[in-house]
Each structure stands twice: as structure tokens, then as C-alpha cells.
Amino acid sequence: MTSWTELPLAAFDLETTSPDPHTARIVTACVLRIDGGDVTRRHWVANPGVPIPAEATEIHGYTDEYVSKHGRPHDDVVAEVVTELQAVWQEGRALAVYNGSYDLTLLAAQDAEFTIGGLVVDPFVLDKQYDRFRKGSRKLSAVMIHYGMRLDDAHDAEADALAAARLAWKLPRTFPHLAEFTADELMERQTHWYREEAHRFRDYLRRNDRDHSGVRTQWPIQATNPESEAA
């Protein structure tokens, strides 16, 4: 049995037009391959083909004018990102993606043939499982600070992808039990942990008479309709 931590790392992040992965479009994307101190980068700027809302521009800084001038056709970027991720998995790499159900669901929404081809390591899921009762933000920048690291350029696709990779390296060294899983076992556990956390959150919302209809239970790719997910 080989620990998933023996696999070489890659990392992935998207910046997009919307917080809804089923309707959002890509604005920027980054895939990293990490081999010791060497990092190989692929970066894309896409013209999403729809106006970028002001609130999205405020987060990642990209405007309609910039992507119209510098962005590539959205469908081409989707296809190239999907091809790159499949190549990463074919190389036997673990793919670190923070809150990966967002990014991977978005790709699945844009490419009906996209499938998960290998190990996804989601530090968002792992941190919630292994430090469940910690108070405070679970945003990537806050989690980096908690584990003694910094994220100087949050909401930049490359910076966020590298941060996900650093957390994927750090967490099994903070919680050694994590390193005992094989790649297949870790995928199964993350799917289970994400579902459990979603049900706990649903129960909390129910107890407080708050709407829980939009809470998703599936990882790493969400169903289009929450009602089609396991109750």
C-alpha cells in the first residue's frame, strides 16, 4: 500500500464570473506541476463571452475590456484546461484544489465529458474534517495563516493553486493519520467527509428555520439539482 503523499503534486485554480459553478464561466485558470523546488506553470485568460459582474471583477481584478483584448475563446480554454488536468492525472500526480467541488463542477458544467481521472486533494475538506471545531474563517487566505503560511495575492489563480498545493503538503504532516491513506482511500474518505459535513450544515439550518435547499452533498462534482443529491 502506497501513501498518497508519495505521489508528485499538481495544483489547479479558476477565477470566474460567478459563485455558482453550474452557471459560472472561466476568466482565468492555472495548472501547476510541482517537482521539489521546480514549478511548471500553465496559465490561461479566457473571454467568458458574457459580461463579468462588477462583484467578480472586484474579487479577481479582470474586466470586460481586458478579457476582450487579451482573453482567448472560452470553449478553447475549457478544452485546454480539461486536457491539462487529464494529463496531470495520467502522469500519476495528485491534484490539489481548494474547495475543489466548485472548480471541478464548473468544468463538468462546461464540458459534459469531463470526468475525474485521478486523485483530487481538497485541503478545504481535509481541514474541516481534521480541525472541525476551530472557529473562524475557512477562506483560503485564513487557512494558510492558520497553518503558518501566507497567501499574498488571494484570488489570483496561480497564487491560489500554489497555496492549495502547499496545504496538501502541510496537512498530512500536521495530521499524520492523513498520510496512511492510499489515493483511492483518500478519494473515498473525502467524498464521505464532504457529505457528512453537508448534512451537519443542513441540520443546523433546519434547527434554525433557515433555508437549506441549496446545500450540496456531492464531492468532487456536484449534481445540477440539489434535490437529485442524496437526502
pLDDT along the chain (231 residues), means of 10: 96 97 98 96 98 97 97 98 98 98 98 97 98 96 96 91 98 98 98 94 87 86 69 46
CA distance 31 to 13: 7
Parse the chain into domains and list their residue ranges. Answer: 4-208
Predicted confidence at residue 212, as pLDDT, reads: 76
Alpha carbon separation from 151 to 33, 47, 90, 142 (Å, rounded): 19, 26, 29, 9
Q: Is the pTM of the predicted complex or chain greater than 0.85?
A: yes
* Cell numbers 495575492: residue: 153
CATH topology for 4-208 is Nucleotidyltransferase; domain 5 (3.30.420)
* Three-state secondary structure call for residue 98: coil
